Chains A and B, each alone.
Chain A
Amino acid sequence: MAYVSSSPHVSDKTTTRTIMLDVIIALLPATIFGIYNFGWRAALIVVVSVLSCVGAEAAYEFLMKKPITIADLSAVVTGLLIALNMPSTMPVGLVILGCLFAIIVVKQLFGGLGQNFMNPALAARCFLLISFAGHMTNFVYDGVSSATPLAVLKAGGDVNVLSMFIGTIGGTIGETSVIAILIGAAYLLIRKVISIRIPLAYIATFAVYTLLFGGRGFDLTYLAAELCGGGLMLGAFFMATDYVTSPVTKNGKIVFGIILGILTGIFRFQGNSAEGVSYAIIFSNLLVPIIEKLTAPTAFGVVKKKAKKGDK
């Protein structure tokens, strides 16, 4: 029997699943470092978070009589990202609550994969941050409860930039080690899973903002600490680049990155909070449709003025 179908008759081997697998691989250095840094409790949170997300997705789809799509691994990525955004002291019950919020409220209620207008993991983080601020900001490092480096900086103190780069500081499980995050990011860039546009525009804009409006003038050590801290790297490479909630147009990606950089700066320096990456990203997620509309590409060889608007 010969099959008949419309061309093309061949396809690339990359699938949604292999892309998600690449993201998981890229998150492993940060995950492993987090477990090394914060101990068994970090491992527990990672496992609970991943299982809750996958379970929530499967249960929802089963109850709604939809095809079960957990094999695409997108729920695993969400679970992993939620875990990396939790302090290691987070109660397990609250982690599960965050996962249910991310998968059911943010992702599934809006139509599932590809339809959510906000990054589910960050939405969960912000939801927990607002509802359980005490638990979410309880950073224990080496058995001592401590403020994050950015909070120290905001209060006018000084921090060790090298340990921030390596990650031997307090914070959420996956955000502390810049080097581990960059290794993962390099993997994603080499595999062409993400493009450099959003992270580069984001980090560069934020750096400029810090030098201009950061309050300490041209202080490179301060700049380095601001870049390494507060989950900026994790956010820039792994969450701002989330396909579903970032613009698909090339110029849109750059605009998106610039907006992120400015918002993060405003939240950090002019706002009350020492950190602002999560809020900057979920807020910018909401701007994606309009960014895409304004940066829609013109077709090859078409001169914009002549573009016809519907022939009817």
Chain B
Amino acid sequence: MSVLTFKGGVHPFDGKAMSKDTPIEELKPGKELVFMLSQHIGAPAVPLVAKGDRVLMGQKIAEGQAFISANIHSSVSGTVKSIEPRLTATGMKVNAVIVENDGLYEAVEVEPQTKKIEELEAAEIRALVKEAGVVGMGGAGFPTHVKLTPKNEGDIDTIIVNAAECEPYLTSDYRRILEETDKLIDGLKVVLRIFPKATGHIAVEDNKPDAIRLLQEKTKGEERIVVDTLKTKYPQGGERCLIYAVTKRKINSSMLPADAGCIVHNVDTIVSIYNAVMEKKPLTKRIVTVTGDAVKNPRNFLVYVGTPYTELVEAAGGFISEPEKMISGGPMMGFAMYSLNVPVTKNTSSLLAFTYDTVKDKVESACIRCGRCGEVCPENLLPAKLSTLARRGAMDAFVANYGMECVECGCCSYICPAQRQLTQSIKAMRKMVMAERRKK
């Protein structure tokens, strides 16, 4: 079978060997859990509990009331300690519900799902997904029920399960495929129930041949499911790159995947959809890879949302030596953290810790116009030019040169031989342009 790909991209050291062979281990949380009211793109959820309330495991503690928002559930049973602003992994302070874990894990009672997948109705699936607070778990955290309700419902012909896992070091999706293959496939079937015309594509990079083989075996005879092999290249799992690789259709910043007849979900999201619909369980746990050369025993954990990062590190045997760099997410697009006193959210994919920060001593030198940034840019931009315009504050020229098409993947900064902060300066300008647009 042919290997699918896109134009551009880079090949960073993948570092997956450290954690890829460690099975998923459930990690029970400690005393205090922090549930951010904003774990998704869109409006923050509105709390339904108050200080002193007793909550059960799986109980809805905050409700997504806006069109783009999501419900939040407690992952443990216990008492609400307070509702106060807390630090997130991205460095912001956001209101959060703090729950003291009573260690009983007393769950909310739910009626079991009596229907089979083939008997489910689209409206029912959407309602269950919305109720369970499922959001995109690949990183962006877009509310899944909104994605499952495109305006052009009848045009959707492709559902893509994003199993590329192109960010270096991350292995949570890989472990999920190996250990919960059936749930993944059934989750995809649930989504396919909504879109009768669509074919399901499970797209995996070719550095995970065992995962591809397993999926192919288990989907044998499934008429509506295809397993696609992707070339191992960053950012193969970026939404626009992935859609192009699988369908050869192109979308730009002003389009949604649905405009190209596609809906893309991360592996973990698909499994959460399965849990929400077939087991009526809200999204309260996710898989997090804890790895990096500063971590004693790199691992993949099944983590209760709200668990502090400090407990993840402890469970992985602690640090070998004090890390210079700690990242939430992958090294290409993740967030550097100065404190581990932040909770796991629905879109936390990994915690990386390195003894040496390879970029801390980088000194920018003059651009030699080698053009490498343009060659690796998956959006076919000229990052060096955009960066110059951004630094000059030339907003109109920045937009005219397609600056708003940038997906902030980091390839240009990664490749730049003059060590220039291309992605960083472009990102800053994009924020300014977006702020300017909001004013109008």
Interface centre among A4, A14, A112, A307 (most CB of B within 10 A): A4
Q: Which of A2, A114, A299, A312 contacts B325 (CB 8 A)?
A: A2
Near A by CB (< 8 A), chain B positions 364-381 give 365-372, 374, 378-381
Chain A positions within 8 Å of B336 at CB level: 2-7, 9
CA distance A309 to B404 in the complex (A): 12
User: Would you call A114 and B368 a contact (CB within 8 A)?
Assistant: yes
User: Would you call A114 and B399 a contact (CB within 8 A)?
Assistant: no
Chain A positions within 8 Å of B379 at CB level: 299-301
CA distance A307 to B381 in the complex (A): 14
| A10 in contact with B240 given A243-B370, A299-B380, A312-B396 (CB within 8 Å) | no
A25 to chain B, nearest CB (A): 16
B207-239 to A contact mask, C-beta < 8 Å, 1/0:
000000000000000000000000000000000
User: Which of A15-23, A34-42, A84-92, A152-160 lines the interface with chain B?
Assistant: A15-23
**A113 interface residue (CB < 8 Å to B):** yes
A224 to chain B, nearest CB (A): 32
User: Would you call A14 and B382 a contact (CB within 8 A)?
Assistant: no
**B423 interface residue (CB < 8 Å to A):** yes
Closest to B371 in A: A248
CA distance A302 to B251 in the complex (A): 8
Q: Which of A8, A112, A300 contacts B250 (CB 8 A)?
A: A300
**B115 interface residue (CB < 8 Å to A):** no
User: Would you call B368 and A8 a contact (CB within 8 A)?
Assistant: no
B42 to chain A, nearest CB (A): 22
Q: Which of B255, B332, B338, B418 contacts A7 (CB 8 A)?
A: B332
CA distance A18 to B372 in the complex (A): 14
**B12 interface residue (CB < 8 Å to A):** yes
**A65 interface residue (CB < 8 Å to B):** no
**A69 interface residue (CB < 8 Å to B):** yes
A231 to chain B, nearest CB (A): 23
**A63 interface residue (CB < 8 Å to B):** no
Near B by CB (< 8 A), chain A positions 271-312 give 296-302, 307-312
B247 to chain A, nearest CB (A): 12
Near A by CB (< 8 A), chain B positions 403-440 give 405, 408, 410-411, 413-419, 421, 423-424, 427, 437
**B53 interface residue (CB < 8 Å to A):** no
B356-398 to A contact mask, C-beta < 8 Å, 1/0:
0111101001111111101000111110100000000001110
A49 to chain B, nearest CB (A): 21
CA distance A8 to B366 in the complex (A): 20
CA distance A179 to B360 in the complex (A): 44
**A58 interface residue (CB < 8 Å to B):** no
A191 to chain B, nearest CB (A): 12
Chain A positions within 8 Å of B408 at CB level: 7
B92 to chain A, nearest CB (A): 13
**A131 interface residue (CB < 8 Å to B):** no
**A211 interface residue (CB < 8 Å to B):** no
CA distance A273 to B395 in the complex (A): 48
Closest to B399 in A: A310
Chain B positions within 8 Å of A248 at CB level: 369-371, 374, 382, 384
CA distance A18 to B417 in the complex (A): 8
CA distance A235 to B161 in the complex (A): 50
B143 to chain A, nearest CB (A): 24
Number of interface residues, chain A, beta carbon within 8 A: 43
A243-269 to B contact mask, C-beta < 8 Å, 1/0:
110101110000000000000000000
Chain A positions within 8 Å of B415 at CB level: 11-12, 14
Interface of B is mostly: loop
Q: Which of B240, B337, B402 contacts A2 (CB 8 A)?
A: B337
Closest to A12 in B: B415
User: Would you call A8 and B423 a contact (CB within 8 A)?
Assistant: yes
B293 to chain A, nearest CB (A): 13
User: Would you call B368 and A301 a contact (CB within 8 A)?
Assistant: no
| A9 in contact with B382 given A2-B338, A113-B366 (CB within 8 Å) | no
**A115 interface residue (CB < 8 Å to B):** yes
User: Would you call A2 and B419 a contact (CB within 8 A)?
Assistant: no
A90-122 to B contact mask, C-beta < 8 Å, 1/0:
000000000000000000000011110000000
Chain A positions within 8 Å of B405 at CB level: 299-302
User: Would you call B326 and A299 a contact (CB within 8 A)?
Assistant: no
| A309 in contact with B418 given A10-B12, A299-B379 (CB within 8 Å) | no
Closest to B6 in A: A300
User: Would you call B378 and A300 a contact (CB within 8 A)?
Assistant: yes
CA distance A129 to B210 in the complex (A): 65
Chain B positions within 8 Å of A61 at CB level: none
B348 to chain A, nearest CB (A): 15
CA distance A298 to B371 in the complex (A): 16
A296 to chain B, nearest CB (A): 7
CA distance A7 to B12 in the complex (A): 14
B387 to chain A, nearest CB (A): 13
A249 to chain B, nearest CB (A): 7
B16 to chain A, nearest CB (A): 14
Chain A positions within 8 Å of B357 at CB level: 3, 5, 9
Q: Which of B244, B367, B419 contacts A11 (CB 8 A)?
A: B419
B250-286 to A contact mask, C-beta < 8 Å, 1/0:
1110010000000000000000000000000000000
User: Would you call B417 and A14 a contact (CB within 8 A)?
Assistant: yes
22 contacts between A and B (CB under 8 A): A3-B357, A4-B337, A5-B359, A7-B408, A7-B423, A8-B332, A9-B325, A11-B416, A12-B12, A12-B416, A15-B418, A19-B417, A114-B367, A299-B381, A299-B405, A300-B250, A301-B240, A301-B255, A310-B396, A310-B397, A312-B395, A312-B396
New A-B pairs, 4, CB < 8 Å, besides A6-B421, A14-B372: A2-B338, A11-B419, A300-B7, A300-B405
State the A residues within 8 Å of B (CB): 1-12, 14-16, 18-19, 69, 72, 74, 112-115, 243-244, 246, 248-250, 296-302, 307-312
State the B residues within 8 Å of A (CB): 7, 10, 12-13, 91, 168, 240, 244, 250-252, 255, 322-327, 331-338, 357-360, 362, 365-372, 374, 378-382, 384, 395-397, 399-402, 405, 408, 410-411, 413-419, 421, 423-424, 427, 437
